[in-house]
Structure 1
Amino acid sequence: MTKEGVQYGSSKSKLLTITSGKGGVGKSTFTANIAYLLSKRGYKVAVIDADIGLANMQVLFNVRPVHTIFDYIEAKAELSDVIMQTPYYNVYLLAGKSGYSYANHSNSFVLTRVVSDVVALNEFDYVLIDTGAGLNDYVKEFLKISDNILALTTTDPSALTDVYALMKMLSKDKNSLMLCFNHTKTAKIGFSIAKSLENLAKKNRLNTNFMLEYIGNVSSSSTISTTGRLRKLFAYEFENETVTTELEMVIDEVLKKMNGGL
């Protein structure tokens, strides 16, 4: 349970918010493939596409949703109508809506209530929130309600600047941030940059109790872009590829963090 956010109660569902700061780092592809690999481990997973105005998770899962989370928000559909089975066993999607105007719901935390309602169903082992890029009010809303936040970034200087801005914001009321690098050649590169970010945080005297937890990397691969264009998941199509193995290792670390190191 979080201070402001989702009331877990007796629900078994665990919430993971995946964000990036900068757009174009592969966050949605990363999220969709994590959901599939979690399902392969026997977990039932719900993915909430919270990229307001630029939803694309239905493309990655190759589905055509009849209803979106905004139909539920506006009482045009029941929650059960919004939760749709993807082609992947035990992976479900609550689709967003491209071009949607959020103005009518600004600062009302209606999206928080959607997440709470999904968790309260007690049907899913993991609920993944795929946020939009940047640190706008919509993204902040999802970050506020989650105790488990994973930032995906690249070695691009502007992407790292955004990650540091995310660290500064979260350090005020969160204990930690999981950090994963995408499109890197080796895990050592990500580890080295994560250390540099930690040192910068110390230099600028961010909250000393806040931890940046480096959890791994995913290499560049033509497999990822190819399967994406075909509306397929690379972890499904190429189970033995290096990038899939690396993502499995990232998931190992995520589960350790979310389950108290077990």
Structure 2
Amino acid sequence: MFNSISAQASKLVNMTQSKRTINSNSKTKLITITSGKGGVGKSTFTANISYLLSQKGYKVAIIDADIGLANMQVLLNVKPQYTLFDYIDAKATLKEVILPTPYENLSLLAGKSGYKYSNHSNSFVLSRIVQDTLDLDEFDFLIVDTGAGLNDYVQEFLNISDNILALTTTDPSALTDVYALMKMLSKDKSSLMLCFNHTKTHNIGLTISKSLENLAQKNRLNSDFMIKYIGNVSSSESISTTGRLRKLFACEFTHDKVTLELNSVIDALLMNIN
């Protein structure tokens, strides 16, 4: 299976990436959460770990960077007057775009479904809102929830972040995409954090992570590039129910196995971020 993943992943890697870096002395830590494949539960995962971080006393802001399919405002039950694109288009200030949520210490820079990103193609406008939010120096964490795939705007967020967390599942197509992500990032990044969603046990994710590492070594990816496995999150029928009700699972089911797993992921995340 992993040989097939390697062959398919090679076709997904864009060999001509644009480069952009973030320059900031801000205390705010930038974390980019991505997946490659859609449908793995990335936005729900992002919303819930952001909430749990906020409950630990950290000030957290989320950028909903799922261009064209923004849904973080639904998960967090807010109705934005302005989105991050209003700031990019100079129709609102950054302060107007940063929205409070019903959860203490948790803010949102909302995205916009159907936005025509092509209007700003290759202009690094998405990097700008990250840089400007970091420069505010008001948050402990700025968490970017990217869209699916490895397209230009996802790559823009990946290029500017040193803390990248990939959420995947055991599905072969999801693993193909995460290996393509590894292959791309290994060119100029030092590591990738990896978490498995809808995965019953910690050891299942650990075993697959080691297999991906072995595949990377076999195909001679950058030997200094590290995969940091930070945990698994199992499934619960209540997760989709709370999402439809515009509530967060980790808030409603504080002692559930999934919430405990999310807290373990956060502990590992805090140990591995730069």
Shorter-chain TM-score bucket reads: over 0.9
1:187 matched to which residue of 2?
A: 202
Residue 205 in structure 1 maps to residue 220 in structure 2:
yes
Residue 4 in structure 1 maps to residue 28 in structure 2:
no
Q: Secondary structure at the match of 2:103?
A: coil
C-alpha distance after superposition, 1:3-39 (max 9, x if no partner) = 8322122x11000000000000000000000110001
The counterpart of 1:161, out of the listed 156, 162, 176, is 176
1:240 matched to which residue of 2?
A: 255
C-alpha distance after superposition, 1:128-181 (max 9, x if no partner) = 000000000000000000000000000000000000000000000000000000
2:144 matched to which residue of 1?
A: 129
Task: Give the counterpart letter for 1:5 in structure 2.
Answer: T
Q: Secondary structure at the match of 2:108?
A: strand
2:162 matched to which residue of 1?
A: 147
User: How many Å separate the matches in 1 of 2:119 and 2:110?
Assistant: 19
Q: How does 1:1-262 map to 2 (within 5 A)?
A: 4-9=20-25, 11-258=26-273
Instruction: Please give the root-mean-square deviation of Cα atoms over the aligned residues, in Å.
Output: 0.8
TM-score (norm 1): 0.97
Structure 1 runs of 4+ aligned residues shifted over 4 Å read none
Q: Which runs of 5+ in 2 are unaligned?
A: 1-18
Q: Secondary structure at the match of 2:31?
A: strand
User: How many Å separate the matches in 2 of 1:76 and 1:200?
Assistant: 48
User: How many Å separate the matches in 1 of 2:60 and 2:71?
Assistant: 18
Q: Which runs of 5+ in 1 are unaligned?
A: none
TM-score (norm 2): 0.92
Aligned length: 256
User: How many Å separate the matches in 2 of 1:27 and 1:51?
Assistant: 10
